[in-house]
Amino acid sequence: MTPGSQTHFARLYLHLFASVACVLPVASYVLTTFGWRPADIGIGTAVLGIAGTLSAPLWGRLDDRTSWAPRAAVLASAGAAVLAALTLGRLPHLATWIALGLFGAAEGPLDALLTTRVLASGLHGSRLGAVRSFGSLGWVVGLALAATVLTVWPEHAEWVLIAAAVTAVTSPFSWGRRATEPPEGTAGPPALPTVRKLPVRPVLGVLAVTFPSSVAMSTLVQFTAGWAHQALSAGPFLALSPIALSALLELPVFPLVDRLVRARTPLLVTVLAGPPLAVATAVLALFPSSISMLAVQPLIAISFSLLFVGQSRLLSAAVSADRQASAQTLGSALTGGVGGLLAGVVGGRVADTLGYGGLFSCLVALTAAGTASGVLALVRTGRPSPSGAAPCPAAADGCTVPANQ
């Protein structure tokens, strides 16, 4: 298994997402076992996003200039997970919020940094969805691991965080070369100490289409387990099974999305992510039950796969090669970070005030608004072309990179 091979990337995705699955979707369940209210849980999950928003662009700029940033982030995320486990239930909520914030600051950029490496790897870049599907498999593995820990040691729910740390540090050490690194054995030009601004305008142009659906998706991930535990009296395996089922269904969906994005523009692929998510949240709002919770997971899997591949390729096409990590981490920070903040804080308040049914109804409206924004963007750029060339999002700087390189 050589650095940069598909097997290497697959194992990285597997370990990193298994680690995250032991924290993000499980946090609401774990915190409820310690008597936390939905609003407090919302703050606890939101600080993950806040910290990721602040730190991810810095990690991205660091990765554009060094080779050790991802490894440092992995080690820091493991340490923060252990710290959260040691504070939960022993110290005031603030201590756990801080520990979760540190975890978010270290974990937030990892998905985007790995996506940057895959897109820069030549052949594997055209199979981003297929390689990323191992992250979905890791999500399933992490959820199964978390459910097992919660079932075997229900009086020590915080041990799930220890499992997250162990899973992270056992991932491969090497991450392969960056997009701007010369191949091994060649003498590249000396690095110049340049300072460039973050690609804010092109990233915001992409997020104008993707942000609403990202917020809705983040809300579902953060609150599904807590909702199932509180409203449906679900145990650990039933509460976490919807998220695991959705991730499992992404395994066959991702390769299909790869084929779709080769035939249609990434913008169209991104817009298509909205309707399935809107239908899924509408079903949860109107028919809250364990059956509905499981039945909508295929729609959520389709929506997420379309959204991830579409946004990643739009961001890749919007900036030059030497700014790829900065663009991907900034996009991830704003969708996962700011989106996570809105999903956690606002979602928790809405659930407290209107109940979970009211929260899901709000997600329907939010997803519909995002889909409408995407349709308007498609109209502005003209009819989608089967050539595979990515239309430049609004405010892109020098968007000349083909979508399917």
The model's pLDDT over 77-109, given as tens digits with 9 standing for 90+, comes to 888 888 888 887 677 778 888 888 888 888 777
DSSP 342: I
| pLDDT tens-place string over residues 271-325 | 999 999 999 999 999 998 888 888 999 999 999 999 989 998 898 888 877 777 7
Angle of CA points 63, 10, 100, to nearest 5° = 60
| pLDDT tens-place string over residues 29-59 | 788 787 777 777 777 777 776 787 788 778 7
| pLDDT tens-place string over residues 61-78 | 787 777 777 788 888 888
B/e letters for 282-315, b = 16+ CB within 10 Å, e = fewer, are bbbbeebeeebbebbbbbbbbbbbbbbbbbbbbb
Q: Find out whether 143 and 21 touch, Cβ atoms under 8 Å.
A: yes
CA 202 – CA 296 distance, rounded (Å): 33
Residue 173: the pLDDT is 63
What average pLDDT does the segment 126-135 reach? 78
Is pLDDT above 60 for 196?
A: no
Q: What is the pTM of this model?
A: 0.68
Residue 194: the pLDDT is 43
Cβ-proximal residues to 294 (8 Å cutoff; 6+ apart), any chain: 241, 242, 245
Q: Which domains occur in the chain, in start order?
A: 6-175+198-381 (1.20.1250.20)
Among 193-197, 230-234, 281-285, 334-338, whose mean pLDDT is lowest?
193-197
Is pLDDT above 60 for 189?
A: no
- Token look-up 């096409």 returns 317
Q: Find out whether 88 and 156 touch, Cβ atoms under 8 Å.
A: no
Cβ-proximal residues to 309 (8 Å cutoff; 6+ apart), any chain: 128, 129, 132, 254, 257, 258, 261, 266, 269
Q: Find out whether 282 and 233 touch, Cβ atoms under 8 Å.
A: no
Assign 118 a pLDDT band (cuts: 50, 70, 90). Answer: confident
Residue closest to 135 by CA, chosen among 267, 304, 266, 296: 304
DSSP 387: T
Judge residue 222's burial from the number of C-beta atoms within 10 Å of its C-beta, 0-12 exposed, 13-18 middle, 19 or more buried. buried
Cβ-proximal residues to 314 (8 Å cutoff; 6+ apart), any chain: 206, 209, 210, 266, 267, 270, 390, 393
Among 34-48, 61-75, 132-146, 379-393, whose mean pLDDT is lowest?
379-393
Is pLDDT above 50 for 385?
A: no
Q: Find out whether 199 and 4 touch, Cβ atoms under 8 Å.
A: no
Q: Rounded to the nearest 5°, which phi and psi values hold at 297?
A: -65, -35
Residue 403: the pLDDT is 37
Residue 368: the pLDDT is 93
CA 198 – CA 204 distance, rounded (Å): 11
What's the residue count for the chain? 405
- Token look-up 């806040």 returns 50
Residue 103: the pLDDT is 87
Neighbours of 353 (CB within 10 A): 11
Is pLDDT above 90 for 364?
A: yes
Distances (CA, A) of 283 to 144, 202, 222, 278: 26, 35, 18, 9
CA atoms within 13 A on the CB side of 379: 6
Q: Find out whether 176 and 1 touch, Cβ atoms under 8 Å.
A: no
Residue 362: the pLDDT is 93
Distances (CA, A) of 68 to 71, 91, 277: 6, 34, 37
Neighbours of 357 (CB within 10 A): 16
Is pLDDT above 70 for 401?
A: no
**Mean predicted lDDT score pLDDT of the chain:** 78
Neighbours of 394 (CB within 10 A): 16
Assign 159 a pLDDT band (cuts: 50, 70, 90). Answer: confident
Neighbours of 326 (CB within 10 A): 28
Residue 302: the pLDDT is 94
Q: Find out whether 44 and 33 touch, Cβ atoms under 8 Å.
A: no
